[in-house]
Chains A and B, each alone.
Chain A
């Protein structure tokens, strides 16, 4: 059974308990997604959209973690392979048609993150986060535990700084 289905069943069976649990935990709505083997989260308010199967145009001279650019809602958006940026090593040729693109906004700027899976919006408690240990990237604001997995909470502003610094 899928995790989502199991969660739905749990909510349906004990709605009062779930509501009480939610009321006790002051969480922040975050979009959860998987990049390679890592789970990441971005505040839901910073996610402009989740695009499916975008066609990406490669750009000569772009840093290795930039897959290319995608045309989304009439705007060109750089598409970033975050896994490459985190590992600082090439992972071979990425597919031209991508499973998901998490489009994150930072002011007027946008960046699309390649993700293998998008879980949707969940409530996470940021105060419970720990400083990033395994992921030393400056755009990882914290790491949280969610259902036994470590989730890297991304800071869009810092991420944009890193992308812009490398690209220019």
Chain B
């Protein structure tokens, strides 16, 4: 059974995740790095435990904690509502506990970012 390692994090109260192999490093928070809520047009809530993710290609994005390594398998995927089919950068949704985790597409996330040298930053 295929299971994919992901790095999960938060944007306010919303749990998001990226494929773990696209995350090269976890760095200290840096206010100069764009917040994921800014990139996705999601208004962040309380910003606690922030870190910067160094992504493949050298791009950086700031996220809210807690940041965890998890695995997502087919049995975790929740069927999307008919009224809301996933659209990039959203790949789909996974259940964890009694909550929902939004699966993000890394290339689409980077494409939505204001590009500077080295990617998102």
Contact = CB atoms under 8 A, between A and B. Distances in A.
Interface SS of chain B: helix, strand, loop or mixed? loop
Nearest to B89: A60
Interface centre among A59, A60, A96, A160 (most CB of B within 10 A): A60
Interface of B: 11-15, 40-43, 45, 78-85, 87-90, 93, 95, 98-102, 104
Contacts of A70: 100
Given A57-B102, A69-B93, A77 B81 contact: yes
22 contacts: A55-B98, A56-B13, A57-B14, A58-B42, A59-B84, A60-B90, A60-B104, A61-B41, A61-B88, A61-B90, A62-B84, A69-B100, A75-B79, A76-B80, A93-B43, A96-B12, A96-B45, A164-B82, A164-B83, A167-B84, A167-B85, A168-B85
A129 B93 CA distance: 41
B110 to A, nearest CB: 13
A71 interface: yes
Contacts of A108: 82
A66 interface: yes
B99 A71 contact: yes
Contacts of B45: 96
A51 to B, nearest CB: 12
B82 A60 contact: no
B83 A76 contact: no
Nearest to A77: B81
A110 interface: yes
Interface in A42-61: 55-61
Contacts of B40: 60-61
A3 to B, nearest CB: 34
B36 to A, nearest CB: 9
Interface centre among A58, A66, A71, A111 (most CB of B within 10 A): A58
B78 A76 contact: yes
Contacts of B15: 57
Contact of B81 (A57, A60, A69, A93): A69
Interface string A75-115: 11110000000000000010010000000000011110000
A55 B13 CA distance: 8
Given A78-B81, A109-B82, A110-B81, A60 B102 contact: yes
Given A69-B81, A76-B78, A168-B85, 17 more contacts: A55-B98, A57-B102, A58-B12, A58-B13, A59-B90, A60-B90, A60-B102, A60-B104, A61-B40, A69-B100, A71-B100, A74-B95, A75-B78, A76-B79, A78-B81, A96-B12, A110-B81
